[in-house]
Amino acid sequence: MSSSRLHAATLFVWALAATVTVQLAPNPLYALMIVGIAALLVRRRGRGSELARAFPTLLALSAVFVAFRILLSVLTIHDLGGALFQLPSFRIPDFLGGYVVGGSVESTVILQTLAEGIVIVAVVAAFAAFNSVVSHYELVQCAPRAFYETGLVVVVALAFVPSTLTAIRDVREADRARTGGLRVRHGRLLRHLMPVLETGLERAMGLAESMDSRGFGRRSGSRQQGAVGWMSLAALLLLVGTFVALVGRALVPAILLGVAGTSLLVAAVVAGSRMQRRSRYRPARFTRLDAMVAATALAVPALLAALEALTQVELGWQAARVSWPSFDPAVAAVILLLSLPALVALPEAAPSTEVATVHGRGGLRMDASLGMDGT
């Protein structure tokens, strides 16, 4: 369970609001603010958990992806201005695209790709922070019953990175214990890789056996579930038609298809949830604090859109202008509202156990240690 009092749905709303904010304001400076807010949230509410320790790793992986993307852009995009130097070039055959690899390295391409990469890092940081502080148990609980199996699989997938990092750390400690604390580089990759792979396979087999013993996915679908599946497929096709209509700038068909697809999808979710009779054990309550934090997070993209419409403030940045990205204090103040989940009071530390005195039939006094949830 997470140490945070905030509901899982509240943190999910915060992650979505942060992502929409980055898309509305694709300025590198504002995106770096989102990264800083996400790091503050992990530091305040992660409490040194394995998921929180995976946060820097995910950021590092996204930075590697951005560097690779910059390299590909520099080698394949040309004639935008600001040439720095020349590289040897060759032309790809026409059936593979016919573009030129190499040639002039341009500052405009580097800066624009870097700016877009920072936006990508900000999106990864928002959802990595959400994954670090949310209670996955609450996340599965608050999902519609129709998505229970899907939500369980997603939660297992989210736990892959921190569990792998834990296995790597344990293998390193065991290797140093065998060598007396000395770092033996010869054969280190093989000594580390095989135990991590074996540990991952053992956990996967244990999880598969556990889910199989609980009858996960054994029940065959009924006619009602088949109808819900066809409704969901029709809803997705209507939503795809909505995007096609938007690309073709057909506003009225797009609105009609969007309303029909959304309504049909909601009806499918409601019908599928009613067919699930699964009970929820101790569901978390959505408190006033959750409502305040969620409303504040949703207000951030709305306020940014209003600022852009009313004051003509520039939220994005184009490298072609060869100027430093603009920084507006009003926009920064609005984005700082996303730091509210990290600033609200943390729950007070409670003792891990408490002693309860129980008197048996013969007057025998027994002390039982109870967990924090009283079980």
pLDDT score for 216: 62
The two tokens of residue 205 are: 């087999």
> Which pLDDT does position 8 carry in this prediction?
83
Are the CB atoms for 138 and 284 separated by under 8 Å? yes
Give the pair of three-digit tokens for residue 28: 């590198």
- Quick one: pLDDT at residue 146? 62
Burial (CB count <10 Å: 0-12, 13-18, 19+), residue 262 = middle
Q: Along the 375 residues of the chain, how does pLDDT read in single tens digits?
A: 344 478 888 888 999 999 999 988 888 999 999 999 999 999 888 776 777 777 888 889 899 999 999 888 888 887 777 778 888 877 877 776 677 778 888 888 888 888 889 999 999 999 889 888 887 777 777 766 666 666 666 667 666 766 777 777 777 778 777 777 677 667 676 777 778 787 777 777 777 777 667 666 556 656 776 777 788 888 889 888 888 888 887 888 888 888 998 888 888 877 776 766 666 556 667 788 888 989 999 999 999 988 888 887 888 887 666 577 888 888 999 999 999 988 886 655 444 333 333 333 333 333 333 333 333
Are residues 15 and 129 in contact, defined by beta-carbon separation less than 8 angstroms? yes
The whole-model pTM stands at: 0.69
Contact 293, 10 (CB under 8 A): yes
Q: How many residues in total does the chain contain?
A: 375
Q: Is 324 helix (H, G, I), strand (E, B) or coil?
A: coil
pLDDT of residue 254: 86
Give residue 283's pLDDT.
65
Q: What per-residue confidence (pLDDT) applies to 298?
A: 92
A 10 A CB-CB count for 115 gives 19
What pLDDT, on a 0 to 100 scale, did the predictor assign at position 327?
Answer: 85
d(CA 62, CA 120): 8
